[in-house]
Structure 1
Amino acid sequence: MKWNTYIKDYQSYLRIERGLSKNTIENYSFDIERLCLFLEANRIEVSPIKISDETVQEFIYSVSKEVNPRSQARIISGLKSFFNYLVFEDYRNDNPMELIEAPKTGRKLPDTLSVEEIDNLIAAIDLSSNEGERNKAMLETLYGCGLRVSELVSLKISDLFFEEGFIKITGKGNKERFVPIGHSTQKYIEIYQKGVRVHLKIKKGHEDTLFLNRRGNQLTRAMIFTIIKDLAVKIGLNKNISPHTLRHSFATHLLENGADLRSIQLMLGHESITTTEIYVHLDRSFLKEVMHTFHPRR
């Protein structure tokens, strides 16, 4: 069996048994393919079940000179997972990554925007075009519901429960959750639906997809990134932002206004509360104020 065969089996395992998303599987696969390119460049002919600890260490050493510690840690984690799978399937007796430690990266705090910056970003959208009405509805939904970009582009009309005030989101691992949606966000979605989407020639298979491009196809994640980056340039925003920035801002603003962490966790669809806890580190002055206001021994 060659590397490609093992990689395909591993991808099937990640998809079927672990229920990971397509994007996550692609990231795991990229790390293995990078190792394959290293072997090819150094003319090392070895299968994944025969590769030695020393060869893997040489690869990690070469990578450490090309990428930052955070990327290096991700590659090490991805390869450990791959070789753990090979051990689990009895292809190998050991994991050659076992003794390799990831570099200390510290906790990277997410970028956030103020409410004013988000207002300015959305206000910069040109509403004279059909795409403008769609883009406004998308950004309002991203920020108003705290969605991942993958959740936004796959959002269905049948997932909208406006009368109940919720939308149904299919998140990581195909896990479903219901997220509250405000009246203003509902309004912008309805404007887009009735004024723009209804006139599109929708491609087969996308009849239920909410946000579409001008050809009637589902939008790509990359397109959402481009839309937001262009708007940031337009208003002269000197921050490196992405669709995820709106999600982080959603959580941060909820926390600043008194929402509890457990509620934020449920709305974001985080499996663990520890993932949500990163937002606690964004505004320590707010936490200090909460302590002085509510603790009996303030």
Structure 2
Amino acid sequence: MKKDIEIKYDIELNRRLKELPDFATDFILSLEDSTSIRTRIAYCKDLSIYLRFILNEVIINPTKDIVGLSVDDIRDIEEKDIRNFLSYLNDYTVEYVSTGGNMVKQSYSNSQQGKNRKIATLRTLYSYLLRHYGLTDPTKYINIKINEKVEIKNSLDGKEIDELVKIILSDLSGVSERQKLFHKKLKYRNANIILLLSYTGIRVSELVSLDIPDIDIDAGTFVITRKGGDQEIAYLPEEIIFHLRDYLEQRKSILDVNLPYRNALFLSNRKSRLSERQINTMLDKYASIVGLTKVTPHTLRRSFGMALYNQTGDIQLTADSLGHSTTETTRRYYAKPNEERKKKILGKFAYSQE
């Protein structure tokens, strides 16, 4: 993982740990050798929501805050409390002080997948509390629901991706001069972001961590830092290499970049490493111009995975290219034959004669 991103995650984790009670902090720290820092940050978020619920809905003790909770405060939590927590996740409101010092209220809701993740977090927590404090696990008989019927979400075909890139590389009309200048300054960066996401299938987190030295144009390869920090070499399709070569020359010409981000492949307008949120905002903008429904980085990753599988029929190759540890996720979410492939194969189907 790149140094500036590591620092960012360390700061985020330390901030969240300070908002948790001692037993929860000790639990998170115990996971350091077995989980990535992003996973530990996600655990902190889940525990903060759970402990806020316990404090406000179960204990109902206005004299305490989350940091002041002890193991004894949650010792009597029962299965019914966990079920009430799952109901609470359907629609809840959080009140907090913004960076500007204002009191803000924000409403949230969780899908079944979000609930499943929080139950998985709590099971890991209570396994730790059982070993160290003898607490029983109130989640033991809570079943995690798995939706066997997978709905394949939207993806783009090659023509739609080409249209998206074409719009970005062209000069926009019907906008202000300031917007035109802004667009012209960043269009090659934005086009290459879309090309890399849709022609290599990398995750947006992997894309924002790319550095200039990670790209070897002559060899047609690049280095991906996968989830957990492992690195691997991936291949660049010839179709995008000439675009990326031009962009690299342009990127290397930007000299006045802050030291932590000097090697970052994709920079924001303020010359820091581009964030995942900024990429989502950019995709929303251009998808709207083209007239496409919501396009996210994962839409482009899904488009790549489905197209690769349909062209090759190779589930293992598709899983490896997407960075999946097993083929099961690939099979459930990406390995859906399109109509052209089904027609080609089934039109020639016959029972073998032995």
TM-score (norm: length of structure 1): 0.87
| C-alpha distance 285-80 of structure 1, shift in aligned 2 (>3 A) | farther
Q: What's the offset of the Cα at 1:29?
A: 2.1
Alignment length (residue pairs): 293
Q: 147-156 or 192-201: which moved more?
A: 192-201
Tell me the secondary structure at the aligned position of residue 172 of structure 1.
coil
Partner of 1:50: 75
Supply the AA of the counterpart residue of 1:6. F
Q: Which runs of 5+ in 2 are unaligned?
A: 1-18, 62-68, 92-108, 172-183
2:155 and 2:226 mapped to 1: Cα distance? 22
Secondary structure at the aligned position of 2:140 is classed as coil
Closer, same or farther: CA 43–287 of 1 in aligned 2, 3 Å: same
Structure 1 residue 196: Cα displacement: 4.3
Name 1:98's counterpart in structure 2.
140
**Which residue of structure 2 aligns with residue 28 of structure 1?**
43
**Matched-pair contact (CA < 8 Å) for 2:212–2:248:** no
**Largest Rg, 1 or 2:** 2
> Which one of the candidate residues 13, 26, 50 is aligned to 2:30?
13
1:138 Cα offset (Å)? 1.1
| Pair 91,157 (structure 1): closer, same or farther in 2 beyond 3 Å | farther
Task: Between 127-136 and 219-228, report the one with greater CA deviation.
Answer: 127-136
**Alpha-carbon shift at residue 119 of structure 1 (Å):** 1.2
Equivalent of 1:59 in 85, 99, 114: 85
Partner of 1:203: 258
Identity of aligned residues (%): 25
Q: 1:146 to 1:295 in 2, by over 3 A?
A: farther
Q: Deviation per CA, 1:80-136, whole angstroms, max 9, x where unpaired?
A: 23223333x523343221111123434342321111111111112155612111111
Q: TM-score, normalised on structure 2?
A: 0.74
Structure 1: which 5+ runs fail to align?
none
- 1:185-219 deviation line (CA, Å, top 9, x unaligned): 22222212212441241111222221112332101
Measured in 1, the distance between the counterparts of 2:166 and 2:117 equals 37
Is 1:112 aligned to residue 155 of structure 2? yes
Map of 1:1-298 to 2, 5 A cutoff? 3-14=20-31, 16-22=32-38, 24-42=39-57, 44=59, 47-48=70-71, 50-53=75-78, 54-64=80-90, 66-87=109-130, 89-106=131-148, 107-126=150-169, 129-237=184-292, 239-278=293-332, 279-281=334-336, 283=338, 286-287=341-342, 289-290=344-345, 293=348, 297=352
Preserved CA contact (<8 Å) 1:109 1:282: no
- Structure-1 separation of matches of 2:88 and 2:289: 40
